[in-house]
Structure 1
Amino acid sequence: MASATGDPGLSKLQFAPFSSALDVGFWHELTQKKLNEYRLDEAPKDIKGYYYNGDSAGLPARLTLEFSAFDMSAPTPARCCPAVGTLYNTNTLESFKTADKKLLLEQAANEIWESIKSGAALENPVLLNKFLLLTFADLKKYHFYYWFCYPALCLPESLPLIQGPVGLDQRFSLKQIEALECAYDNLCQTEGVTALPYFLIKYDENMVLVSLLKHYSDFFQGQRTKITIGVYDPCNLAQYPGWPLRNFLVLAAHRWSSSFQSVEVLCFRDRTMQGARDVAHSIIFEVKLPEMAFSPDCPKAVGWEKNQKGGMGPRMVNLSECMDPKRLAESSVDLNLKLMCWRLVPTLDLEKVVSVKCLLLGAGTLGCNVARTLMNAKGFNMSIPMPGHPVNFSSVTLEQARRDVEQLEQLIESHDVIFLLMDTRESRWLPAVIAASKRKLVINAALGFDTFVVMRHGLKKPKQQGAGDLCPNHLVASADLLGSSLFANIPGYKLGCYFCNDVVAPGDSTRDRTLDQQCTVSRPGLAMIAGALAVELMVSVLQHPEGGYAIASSSDDRMNEPPTSLGLVPHQIRGFLSRFDNVLPVSLAFDKCTACSSKVLDQYEREGFNFLAKVFNSSHSFLEDLTGLTLLHQETQAAEIESHSVAQAGAQ
């Protein structure tokens, strides 16, 4: 209890301090504000809380802060009084510990004192109810450190109790209590508030009148010795008023001590017991106002809250145990992304990263490393039909293949980015075709023993556009598409896919192979490197304003200004672990590609599964005949024979 000492023959007036009540919603909202808005900003922020005067006996006087504390326009809960505050949120625990608490208290006290001197507190009594909150949020452990302060100005001399405190029912009749309730309710309704922190009272045996502080001159006109004021009191102790009375008594002493000898205080307590309203437990007492004049300097102030051990120190709340482990993992990823934006990459578009839906095809070494980097994962157990792996025409097998294709089509349709992370070349063909048809971004990764390739497939133009149309957002200035170099300034829609560099169709690559040839035998760190680069390539593409249509960066661009905040947006990354070297080649789409050429896509879009079944059940020559590779081979062989004949003739 804080006390004001009276004359030797009079009792001490003591005040019950506030107990801070910061609920989980407040800490959750602070977390979001810290991550999304405040970041590294330590500037003071306006917040607000409220207190209630209807608690049962035994409960402390609480100042509550909840999720709405950061919204200064949010309504105050019913039958509660608002309190305005300032949040000082520090970036480090050390800053929290070394913050100048004395200076912060003095600054807040000066603001209260100025509102008293200027009369602003009479117009807006909430200015007397200021509080401070010093915090540090450890968002990696969900430990929140805080120190709460409710600044209270100290009177320059003692404040003697003349009489009381006594219960209101010992001084007021039932009729007067009912009149008080009615008058208070009417004033609140007139002012459009749920509760008034302070109000003026006049009463006699037959009536009770109440008014606002700013009307004190007219309201108390003619009174000479004593005035009565009401305070909305959060304390429920029978002998002590709550903390909000302290600053009001300083105002009364400063404003009225020259006119009135004493002030009668009615600590208004309004609770509901068994469905009935009860204010009879309110207390009333009279105190003598000090006669000495105030200096212009701000009085001394107190108000820092004691910790749980009763000493002067901060408190800590640990919310990690009440957080779901899955939610903690998601929050950790979210935290890492948002921390990038604070200082390192302020232009990073997190929404594009967070909202993208990725489909990982392949759950082996590569797939697991990509999944670990993405932190997303929901499993589907299915088979992917492949060229060169015939589908038997028995009803069960054929229908199963049809269902697998339908499921794969649905999965690709419902995702934004498709990762191809399988072991064999042929297993990548069907998803490559479907994704190209549905205009989905494809990220492909493949491993050798000490080499790897990570690439994005060219993203076809939207179907409604003609061959001569530009892609959305204008991809290139088409006057000189290739520029000074053969592979410079190639836009995303002209880039090749995984199969574009091949002149043979995919087939069964595991037939007649030894065990080591059937498995992907790689150096231990290669999958981690390739998996991480696959994810980073996707994110770089997403950060480019043209997305998958972005012009491909090459090795020659390494010294140039990068096109995105995260750097280059290559077409391919080919790594050589034996030399610890990467190159960034670029390749054009092949018009005879067995996966993404228009002939394959047109046939798939017209015939659907019937076309796919022909591919699965035929030799690789079916796709080669369709795309023109067979004719290309024949022309190449004819040219070689002719060249050989010419060479022989020249030799003769």
Structure 2
Amino acid sequence: MTTLKFVPYSSAFDTGFWHELTRRKLEVYRLDSSNQSIFGYYANDANDNMPALFNVDHQCFDENNKISNQQQLYSVNGTLKLVNTIEEFKTFDIDSALKTESSLLWNDFVQGSTLENPQKLNRFYLLIFADLKKYIYHYWFAFPTFLVPTAFNLSSPVKPIGEQFSSDEIGAISKTLEANKLHACCLHREQNSSFAVINLKQAVENLNEKPQSASEYIFIVNDPSTDPVHPGWPVRNLLTLLYYHLRAVEQLNVICWRERFRDDQQYVNHSLYLQLKPESISNIGDAVPPSAGWEKNERQRLGSRQVNLSTSMNPIHLAETAVGLNLKLMKWRLAPEIDLESLEKMHCLLLGAGTLGCNVARCLMAWGVKHVTFVDNSRISYSNPVRQTLFTFQDSCENRPKAQAAADALKAIYPGIKSIGYDLTIPMPGHAVGESTIEKVKEDVNLLHDLIRQHDVLFLLTDSRESRWLPTVIGAVEQKLVLCCAVGFDSYVIIRHGVPAKESDTPPTRYKNFLRGDKLGCYFCNDIVAPGDSSIDRTLDQQCTVTRPGISMMASALSVELLVSIMQHPLRLAYSEIKTS
């Protein structure tokens, strides 16, 4: 006589479980290491060669979220033990914990509540230590089952359901079960070859009254196993329950129900049919029998497992992943050859942290640029925050320097960005320099030169024309890409300055009719006089930038889009896409 063997559960976590566990540990549990009630679930629709998965996710902490046996998912109650130290985890008394959990399961068996509510066929225990600094989680699952003093002997070999029942009978069983989504139940064969569902309690009472009618009753349990001859843990616990309550039954018929759906069609022929010769174990009484159930580790030995989520659980890493998501989706279909790495590595220097500077910085960040430096010498006034999108009312109350406040705001929006602000006055032609300020002006020129040299792209976004002259000259000397953006009341101008070409540069044949990058002009190329002091002798409406609010956003966005387009050109800065006649 063959003894039936069983496939144990294999634990599986949804990533959301660790997010919610981390939140609850920090905000709810804190140092509380007492047992917490949770739930998990298993399914009976796995594909061939898959393990008998037992799942927990972010909803398992809240009883109100418990699934209602729909879509082949069956919930299981359990206990979470979240300890505070790795030493407590390593020295934890696993035998005592398993015994306690097993006693809860056994008491439900003995008292008959499992017969009334088959969801109590299974329980689990989950021991966890969460290292929230490194985002490493140590865990160990236990799925209690009992070592009863009898074997589960088969009176005939295990076989697929299709070898025992006709297709019409299988259809009738499936239709009957569809209306009764239970962890386990019993079918009674009616005289017209149909089946009626009865609960386990009623079936046990009927069989104890009429043991000779055993062939009319078929117990059904939803089975997570995919093994062709070995059912899963729920079947083992159901048989233990039935062996305890049945007295003189000589035949026990069990279907291990498994489902799959493909193209809206149900497939159940891989379900198993078992026929056993039960032996009553009621004589063992109410005492909890020995139990087992701690899950084996990856080496197939009894021991804990761990999961390392340091690259995904840290909020900064999560933000880095999320920031690039929409950009990377462009490469799926719309722009498969777009070069995002060049944008990410680019160092951008923004001269001016006002209305244009704030909007350009936001747009650069949206494109994945990780290095943004601000230069400005003014402070935030009460009129600024509504137009300058990186500042707040509190910044104006504190009269903070614009450059540093803008850099701090970028890091508050996205901690992964590297942003610095320099409170620097750009020397301007037409503005007098006194004897006492000569050294300071020299220092400012040297610092500005160093900053331009260290960056790849220079944005001219200041609010006066003459403040753009020195950066334009230095940018040309250092052969940097310079983008100049200026706004009027209802107009704007965006200029890409020419970049001097190297003597070795020769245009490829396919670009011979394209205008070379070094032939492009700059913001001052059409001037007939040198820039002067444009702010002297001006009224208030002429000193301030008076423009329609949306103009600055359009101009800022197009400036960044121009930069992105340039960086996608195979020759980068060397050529313009403007064709010559």
Q: 1:513 to 1:150 in 2, by over 3 A?
A: same
Answer yes or no: is the 8 Å Cα contact 2:39–2:56 preserved in 1.
Answer: yes
Q: 1:410–1:85: structure 2 CA closer, same or farther, 3 Å change rule? A: same
Matches within 5 A, 1:316-465: 316-322=306-312, 326-327=316-317, 381=374, 383-385=376-378, 407=384, 410-411=387-388, 415=392, 417-418=394-395
Distance in 2, matches of 1:96 and 1:416, equals: 49
1:196 aligns with 182
Deviation at 1:271, TM superposition (A): 1.3
- CA 1:323/1:47 → structure 2, altered by over 3 Å: closer, same or farther? closer
The answer as to 2:226 corresponding to 1:236 is yes
Secondary structure in 1 aligned to 2:168? helix
Counterpart of 1:298 in structure 2 is 288
Measured after TM superposition, the shift of residue 280 of structure 1 is 1.8
Partners in 2 of 1:86 and 1:259 — Cα distance?
Answer: 36
Q: Is 1:211 equivalent to 2:198 in the alignment?
A: yes
Quote the offset at 1:323 in angstroms.
Answer: 5.2
Which residue identity does 1:231 align to in structure 2? V
Q: Does 1:82 align with 2:90?
A: no
Contact 1:105 1:302 in 2 (8 A): yes
In structure 2, the residue matched to 1:14 is 5
> Any idea what the Cα deviations from partners look like across 1:290-344, whole Å, max 9, x if unmatched?
245123210111101101111111111112234578336999xxxxxxxxxxxxx
Aligned partners of 1:511 and 1:116: how far apart in 2? Answer: 96
Residues 275, 421 of structure 1: CA spacing in aligned structure 2 closer, same or farther, 3 A cutoff?
A: closer
Shift, 1:411, TM fit = 4.4
Asked whether the equivalents of residues 208 and 249 of structure 2 are also in contact (C-alpha less than 8 Å), the reply is no
SS at match of 1:248: helix
Cα pair distance change 1:95/1:511, threshold 3 Å: farther
SS of corresponding position for 2:196: strand
Shift of the alpha carbon at 1:252?
0.8
Three-state SS of the structure 2 residue aligned to 1:82 is strand
| Alpha-carbon spacing, 1:409–1:383, altered in 2? closer, same or farther (3 Å) | farther
Structure 1, residues 399-449: CA drift from partner, whole Å, max 9, x if none?
A: xxxx999546644995253255659xxx99xxxxxxxxxxxxxxxxxxxxx
Tell me by how many angstroms 1:261 deviates.
Answer: 2.7
Check if 1:512 corresponds to 2:433.
no
Contact persistence 1:88–1:135 (CA under 8 A) = yes
Q: Which residue of 2 aligns with 1:35?
A: 26
User: Which residue type is aligned with residue 252 of structure 2?
Assistant: V
Deviation, structure 1 residue 380: 7.6
* C-alpha distance after superposition, 1:538-588 (max 9, x if no partner): xxxxxxxxxxxxxxxxxxxxxxxxxxxxxxxxxxxxxxxxxxxxxxxxxxx
1:62 is aligned to 2:39: no
Change (3 A) 1:214 1:411: farther
* 8 Å CA contact 2:377, 2:401 repeated in 1: no
Say whether the 8 Å CA contact 1:384–1:404 is kept in structure 2: no
1:524-543 aligned at under 5 Å gives the runs: none
Contact 1:510–1:517, Cα closer than 8 Å, also in 2: no
- 1:251 offset after TM fit, Å? 1.3
- How far apart, CA to CA, are the structure 2 residues paired with 1:146 and 1:515? 65
Amino acid at match of 1:158: A
Q: Distance in 1 between matches of 2:128 and 2:154?
A: 38
SS of the aligned residue for 1:512 comes to: helix
CA distance 1:217–1:147, shift in 2 (3 Å): closer
Paired residue type of 1:122: L
> How has the CA–CA distance of structure 1 residues 75 and 298 changed in structure 2, closer, same or farther, with 3 Å as cutoff?
closer
User: 2:540 aligned with 1:610, yes or no?
Assistant: yes
Q: In the comparison of the two structures, how many residue pairs are matched?
A: 371
Aligned-partner Cα distance in 2 for 1:251–1:327: 49
State the distance in 1 between where 2:84 and 2:176 align.
49
Report the CA distance between 1:275 and its aligned residue. Answer: 3.8
Q: Distance in 1 between matches of 2:52 and 2:390?
A: 58
Q: Quote the residue 1:264 is aligned against.
A: 253
Measured at CA, do residues 92 and 509 of structure 1 come closer, stay the same or move farther in structure 2, by a change above 3 Å?
A: farther
Q: How does 1:632-643 map to 2 (within 5 A)?
A: none
Over the matched positions of the two proteins, sequence identity in percent amounts to 29
| Among 272, 276, 279, the residue aligned to 1:283 | 272
Helix, strand or coil: the match of 1:47?
Answer: strand
Q: Report the residue type matching 1:20 in the other structure.
A: S
Alpha-carbon offset, residue 242 of structure 1: 0.7
| Alpha carbons 2:378, 2:401 under 8 Å: kept | no
Shift in alpha-carbon separation, 1:410–1:178, aligned structure 2, 3 A: same
The alignment partner of 1:14 has SS state of coil
Q: 2:59 corresponds to which letter in structure 1?
A: S
> Are the structure 2 counterparts of residues 409 and 63 from structure 1 closer, same or farther at C-alpha, using a change threshold of 3 Å?
closer
Tell me the residue number matched to 2:141: 148
Residues 281 and 329 of structure 1, relative CA distance in 2, 3 Å threshold: closer
Give the drift of 1:110.
Answer: 0.2
Greater CA radius of gyration, 1 or 2? 1
1:251 aligns with 2:241: yes
> Cα distance 1:222–1:511, how it changes in 2: closer, same or farther (>3 A)?
farther
Structure 1 counterpart SS, 2:289: coil
| Correspondence 1:154-165 to 2 at 5 A | 154-165=147-158
CA distance in 2, matches of 1:107, 1:28: 28
For the structure 1 residues 184 and 415, does the alpha-carbon distance in structure 2 shift closer, same or farther, using more than 3 Å as the test? same
SS in 2 for 1:109: helix
Structure 1 pair 285–409 and aligned structure 2 pair: CA distance change class (3 A): closer
The CA RMSD over aligned residues, in Å, is 3.8
2:385–2:391 CA contact under 8 A, matched in 1: no
Q: Describe the shift of the 1:147–1:272 C-alpha distance in structure 2 as closer, same or farther (beyond 3 A).
A: same
- Evaluate the alpha carbon distance shift between residue 413 and residue 184 of structure 1 in structure 2; reply closer, same or farther with a 3 A threshold: closer
Distance in 1 separating the partners of 2:381 and 2:38: 56
How big is the shift at 1:83?
A: 0.9
Q: CA deviation at 1:228?
A: 2.6
Equivalent of 1:107 in 97, 100, 109: 100
Write the distance in 2 (CA, Å) between the matches of 1:277 and 1:412: 56
Q: Residues 202 and 405 from structure 1, CA distance in 2 versus in 1: closer, same or farther, beyond 3 angstroms? A: closer
> Is the CA contact 1:385–1:405 (under 8 Å) kept in the aligned structure 2?
no
Instruction: Report the AA paired with residue 209 of structure 1.
Output: A
Secondary structure in 2 matching 1:321? helix
Matched AA of 1:67: H
Contact 2:312 2:318 survives alignment (8 Å)? no
Q: CA 1:281 to 1:420, structure 2 compared with 1: closer, same or farther past 3 Å?
A: same
SS at match of 2:128: strand
Deviation readout 1:465-512 (Å, 9 max, x if unpaired): xxxxxxxxxxxxxxxxxxxxxxxxxxxxxxxxxxxxxxxxxxx99971
CA contact (8 A) 2:186 2:218 kept: yes
Cα distance, 1:381 vs. partner?
3.6
SS at match of 2:193: coil
Letter aligned with residue 114 of structure 2: A
Segment of structure 1 superposing worse, 76-85 or 205-214: 205-214
Letter in 2 for 1:417: Q
**CA distance in structure 1 between the partners assigned to 2:261 and 2:386 by the alignment:** 63
- 2:177 is aligned with 1:184: yes
Write out per-residue CA displacement over residues 32-79 of structure 1, whole angstroms, 9 at most, x where no aligned residue. Answer: 111111111111111111111111111111011111111212142522
CA contact (8 A) 2:66 2:75 kept: no
1:24 equivalent to 2:10? Answer no
Structure 2: distance between partners of 1:145 and 1:409: 49
Unaligned stretches of 5+ in structure 1? 1-9, 189-194, 332-360, 363-376, 387-402, 429-507, 521-608, 615-652
Q: Distance in 1 between matches of 2:92 and 2:375?
A: 59
Q: Is the 8 A contact 1:382 1:404 kept in 2?
A: no
> Where do 1:91-106 residues align within 5 Å?
91-106=84-99
Whether the aligned pair in 2 keeps the contact of 1:384 and 1:405 (CA below 8 Å) is no
User: Using the alignment, how far apart are the partners of 1:58 and 1:125 within structure 2?
Assistant: 27
Aligned residue identity for 2:43: Y
